[in-house]
Structures are given as structure tokens and as C-alpha cells.
């Protein structure tokens, strides 16, 4: 028999993500409040939530602290409550539900009923950051605990692989704690679930369980922030890979144009605009990846401290929970750091390419402007010279004895010749100065 079987759901939602505005925060709050029953004090919730910019642990229902579960017609006798809190940029919800009577271990149909009740209480909604199912009960014969834990896990997660997903076990309050973590089914590629199962040797230890709920809420929040940040980093890394392909294509286009000597100003400007667009997206993604590194590192440190505190407070080993700590340190943190180091050089290459294009455009514009000035100088001098010659030829004696049309033709001839000769002379002088 299992004495006073209890099923807790620790659920976590994001309150304020990086870059989210007030409208986003309000929407996140509304989504979280939909997981609570309609009878809670909405004004008190908002007042508590808006009272502090940052808070490490804030109960959102004031002195009431919890909302009791309502009776369910034609349902076994039970009790429980909602317990919502806020952790800085996140919300946490503990939904506790217990059967008042002992339950058989041979048939766990009652556990399906209990799980359905808990899921219905939050409208079958998932936590945006993650969630953990925690089952606990008194068990007189702890030597049966391993087999029973596997059976309970399969009941809670019927499509999961219990052998693959069992992390291990350790002692807790004189009893035994088991941890399971994995995908709901082998075909699923995301959305890992997390299950903790604890058996206590006596009623006194079972009664002490509630003393540690706040510790569990914080510990599991740190855990889910780590896994959430790692999952976010995988999405960002995928986008960075796409950006790296765009950078390579842009470089190849510039290289082909350079080799073919087809670097026209318009083409350079088009390539520059394309490179700027890629740079903006790529730099933003790289910053997001760096943010996830900080999130993992900060919450990993907090997880380690909270786990040590929980172990000391309960005088228990809790060694099974250190395996996640090692995983986060050796895989998650290291993987995201390596990704950041691997993607960063691409940003510098893109910046160098943009610098090259901008320099090329500037040189072309300078050359064009200089050519324009030189052309103006050449033809301006030529025209001025031609005008002077034209005015002087009108005074030549030879022209006084000819007709006006003849005078005009001679004058024009002299002026054009003078203009051409003066222009060529200025062009030659400019050429000599530029050598």
C-alpha cells in the first residue's frame, strides 16, 4: 500500500524575456493567470507582481499564499492547492494534489485519475520554461521502491522508455528518491519531460515534505531555465549556420566580381546593402547566443548552491540530482560556448568585407570626382583660351579686307584650335602631376 499518495506539478512560465516590451509582459502574465482558477484575487496578483522590478522569490497571493482545490463530483476524496510565485523574470506554480486514502500498488489506475485531475486544473497547459511531475508517498517496504518507481513512471509517461530515461536514485529524508528524464517517445525530438518519485519510510518523513517545497521550487526553476536556455541556443545556432552560408555566398559573389574585374559602383552598392542586412541579423543572433551562455552559467551556479542547501537542510545525499549539474556543465555550457567561438570569426569576416566594399566605393567616388574636376579644368581652360583667341582674331588686319562670314569662319577656326591646344596642354600638366 502507498500511504497518502501525492502528485505535485511544478510548472514554470517566462514572465519577461530579453527584448520583450510591456505588451509582451502583460500577455505573459495573462497566459500564466489562465492556469489559475477564476476565483483568485486578480487585483492582488497584479499588485504583487508589479510591486517590484526584480524579486528572487515572491508569493503572488499575499497572506493567503494558496488557492485550495475545489471538490470534484464523483471523484475520490482529495485535497490540494495552487501556489503561484514569481522568480525575477519567471513565474512558478506548484499544483499539489493528494488522495486522502491509501492506494494499492498492484493497480495504478487511480494514478491516471490523479494525473488527469492535476492536468485539468491548469487547463492542460504546458509551462513555457518547463515542468516537473513529482510523486511521493509512504512505502513500508523500501526494498520494493525501485520496481515500484519504474511502474509509477510508466503510468505517468506511458510512451516513454523507463530504462533509457531513469537517471538514478539516492536517499532523501530517510527514504529513496528517483529521477527520470527523457522524451515522451523515441520519435520525439524536443520537449523532454522530468519526473521525480520519492518514497518515505514513515509518516513523519512524509509530513516533513512540505518544508522543502520552496527549495524544490527554486531548484527546479534553475534547472528548467538551464534546459530552456540550451534549447534556445540550438535554435539560434541553426539560424547562425544559415547566416554563415549567406556570408560565404556574399564573399564568393564579391570574389567572382573582383576576378572578373566587374566591380561597378552600382554592383558594389548592392553587395554592400546585402552585406549590411546579413551583418545586422548575424550580430543579433550572436548576441542572443552569448545571452544563453550567461543564462546557463548563472542558473547552473544557483542550481549548485540550492542543491547543496537542500542536501544540508534535509541531511540527505541527493547525489542523483548532481548528474544534471554535470550534464549542464560538461555538455550544455561547453557546447554553447564552443558554438559562440565558432560563429564569431564569421562576423569579423563580414565586417572586413564591408570595410573593403566601403573603401572600394569611396575610392571610386574620389576617382570619379577627381576626373570630373580635371575635365572641368581642361575644358574650362580650353574654352577660355578659345574665347580669348576669338576676341583677338577679330583685330587682325587680314580680316578687315574680307567679308563678315569669312571673318567669322576664321575666328571660329582660331578659337577652336586654341581651345583644343589649351585643353591638351592642361591635360598633359595634370598627367605629369599625378605620376
C-alpha cell recorded at residue 386: 578659345
CB atoms within 10 A of CB 257: 15
- pLDDT of res. 383: 45
Q: 303 or 1: which carries more pLDDT confidence?
A: 303
- pLDDT of res. 149: 97
CB atoms within 10 A of CB 125: 14
- pLDDT of res. 184: 61
Contact 33, 84 (CB under 8 A): no
Which helix or strand (DSSP H or E) is residue 166 part of?
strand 166-172
Q: Is the pTM of this model over 0.85?
A: no
Look at residue 266 and tell me whether its pLDDT is greater than 80: no
Q: 244 or 426: which carries more pLDDT confidence?
A: 244
Question: What SS3 class is residue 370?
Answer: helix
Look at residue 189 and tell me whether its pLDDT is greater than 70: no
Q: Give the DSSP per-residue string, 169-195.
A: EEEETTEEEEEEEE-SSTT--S--EEE
- pLDDT of res. 370: 56
Look at residue 40 and tell me whether its pLDDT is greater than 70: yes
What is the rounded distance in angstroms from the CA atom of residue 257 to the CA atom of residue 264? 9
Residue 201 pLDDT level (bands cut at 50, 70, 90): very high
- pLDDT of res. 265: 61
Question: What SS3 class is residue 82?
Answer: strand
Q: 280 or 388: which carries more pLDDT confidence?
A: 280
Q: 47 or 251: which carries more pLDDT confidence?
A: 47
Look at residue 191 and tell me whether its pLDDT is greater than 90: no
Q: Give the DSSP per-residue string, 247-303.
A: HHHHHHHHHHHHHTT---HHHHHHHHHHHHHHHHHHHHHHHHHHHHHHHHHHHHHHH
Strands 58-59 and 78-87: antiparallel
Contacts of residue 266, defined as CB under 8 A and 6 or more positions apart, other chains included, come to none
End-to-end CA distance of the chain: 101
- pLDDT of res. 55: 85
Residue labelled with grid coordinates 552598392: 269
Amino acid at each position: 500500500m502507498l500511504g497518502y499518495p501525492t502528485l505535485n506539478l511544478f510548472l514554470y512560465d517566462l514572465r519577461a524575456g530579453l527584448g520583450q516590451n510591456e505588451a509582451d509582459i502583460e500577455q505573459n502574465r495573462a497566459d500564466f493567470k489562465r492556469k489559475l482558477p477564476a476565483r483568485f484575487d486578480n487585483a492582488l496578483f497584479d499588485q504583487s507582481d508589479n510591486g517590484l522590478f526584480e524579486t528572487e522569490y515572491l508569493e503572488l497571493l499575499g497572506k493567503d499564499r494558496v488557492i485550495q482545490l475545489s471538490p470534484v463530483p464523483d471523484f475520490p476524496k482529495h485535497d490540494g492547492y495552487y501556489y503561484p510565485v514569481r522568480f525575477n523574470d519567471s513565474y512558478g506554480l506548484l499544483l499539489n494534489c493528494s488522495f486522502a486514502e491509501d492506494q494499492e500498488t498492484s493497480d495504478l489506475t487511480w494514478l491516471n485519475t490523479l494525473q488527469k485531475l492535476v492536468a485539468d486544473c491548469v487547463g492542460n497547459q504546458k509551462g513555457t520554461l518547463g515542468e516537473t511531475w513529482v510523486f511521493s508517498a509512504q512505502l513500508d517496504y523500501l526494498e520494493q521502491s525501485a520496481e515500484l518507481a519504474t511502474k509509477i513512471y510508466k503510468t505517468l509517461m506511458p510512451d516513454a522508455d523507463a530504462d533509457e530515461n531513469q537517471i538514478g536514485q539516492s536517499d532523501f529524508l530517510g527514504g529513496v528518491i528517483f529521477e527520470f528524464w527523457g522524451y515522451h517517445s523515441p520519435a520525439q525530438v524536443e520537449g523532454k519531460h522530468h519526473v521525480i518519485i520519492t518514497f518515505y519510510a514513515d509518516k513523519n518523513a512524509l509530513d516533513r515534505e512540505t518544508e522543502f517545497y520552496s527549495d524544490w521550487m527554486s531548484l527546479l526553476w534553475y534547472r528548467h531555465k538551464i534546459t530552456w536556455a540550451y534549447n534556445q541556443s540550438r535554435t539560434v545556432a541553426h539560424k547562425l549556420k544559415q547566416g554563415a552560408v549567406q556570408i560565404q555566398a556574399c564573399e564568393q559573389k564579391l570574389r567572382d566580381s573582383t576576378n572578373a574585374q566587374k566591380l561597378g559602383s552600382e554592383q558594389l552598392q548592392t553587395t554592400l546593402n546585402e552585406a549590411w542586412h546579413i551583418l545586422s541579423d548575424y550580430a543579433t543572433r550572436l548576441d542572443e547566443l552569448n545571452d544563453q551562455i550567461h543564462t546557463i552559467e548563472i542558473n547552473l551556479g544557483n542550481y549548485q548552491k540550492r542543491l547543496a542547501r537542500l542536501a544540508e537542510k534535509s541531511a540527505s545525499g541527493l547525489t542523483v540530482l548532481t548528474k544534471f549539474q554535470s550534464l549542464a556543465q560538461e555538455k550544455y555550457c561547453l557546447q554553447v560556448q564552443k558554438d559562440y567561438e565558432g560563429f564569431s570569426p564569421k562576423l569579423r569576416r563580414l565586417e572586413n568585407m564591408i570595410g573593403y566594399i566601403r573603401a572600394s566605393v569611396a575610392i571610386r567616388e574620389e576617382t570619379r570626382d577627381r576626373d570630373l574636376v580635371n575635365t572641368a579644368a581642361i575644358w574650362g581652360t580650353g574654352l577660355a583660351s578659345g574665347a580669348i583667341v576669338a576676341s583677338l582674331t577679330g583685330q587682325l588686319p587680314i580680316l578687315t579686307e574680307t567679308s563678315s562670314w569669312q571673318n567669322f569662319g576664321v575666328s571660329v577656326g582660331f578659337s577652336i584650335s586654341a581651345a583644343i591646344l589649351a585643353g591638351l596642354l592642361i591635360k598633359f600638366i595634370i598627367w605629369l602631376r599625378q605620376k
